[in-house]
A = this chain, B = another copy of it.
Amino acid sequence: MDLFMKCSIEEAEAGLREGGIPIGSVLVRNGQIISRGRNRRVQENNPILHAEIDCLINAGRIRNYSECTLYSTLMPCYLCAGAVVQFGIGKVVAGESVNFAGAREFLESHAVEVIDLDLEVCKEMMAAFIREHPDIWYEDIGET
C-alpha cells in the first residue's frame, strides 16, 4: 500500500484507540511527511479538529502549499476541502469515499487533483464506526 496512506491509517487507528472518530491524515512535501493528524472531535471536544485540519495545524505556518499533497483516510468534507482550496494545496489523496462522498467536485472545480484509492481497510474501519456510533459521526459532518 501507498506508504503515506499507511501512515494516515495508523493515525486513524490511534484515534479509534483514544475513543475518537477513526480518520487520519498526513501532509507530504517533496516525498516526505511533514505532519500527521487525526480527527480529535471527541478527544478534545473540538468540532474543528477533523483529521486534515489537525494535520494542517501540526504542520505549522507554511508560506506556500502548492507542492504539498494532503492524504486522508476519507474524502475531505467542505471544511477540509475549503482549507485545501484556500491554502492552495495542489493534490488530495483519499482512502475512500463510499462512506462519505465529501467535497470532491468542489476540490476539482478549484483545480485540485483528487485521487480516491478506494481501499477496503478504510471503508471497513469507517463503516464499523458509523454503525457503532452514528450520533458522533453525524455530529462530525453537521448532519442532524
Contacts and interface: CB of A to CB of B under 8 A. Distances in A.
Q: How many copies does the complex hold?
A: 2
A137 interface: no
Interface string A53-74: 1001101111111100000000
Contact of A47 (B41, B62, B141): B62
A139 interface: yes
Q: Lowest 7 A-B CB distances belong to which pairs? A: A82-B82, A87-B142, A78-B86, A78-B82, A79-B86, A78-B85, A79-B82
20 contacts: A45-B60, A46-B57, A46-B60, A47-B56, A47-B57, A47-B59, A47-B61, A47-B87, A48-B53, A48-B56, A48-B57, A48-B83, A65-B142, A78-B85, A79-B87, A80-B82, A82-B85, A87-B142, A88-B143, A88-B144
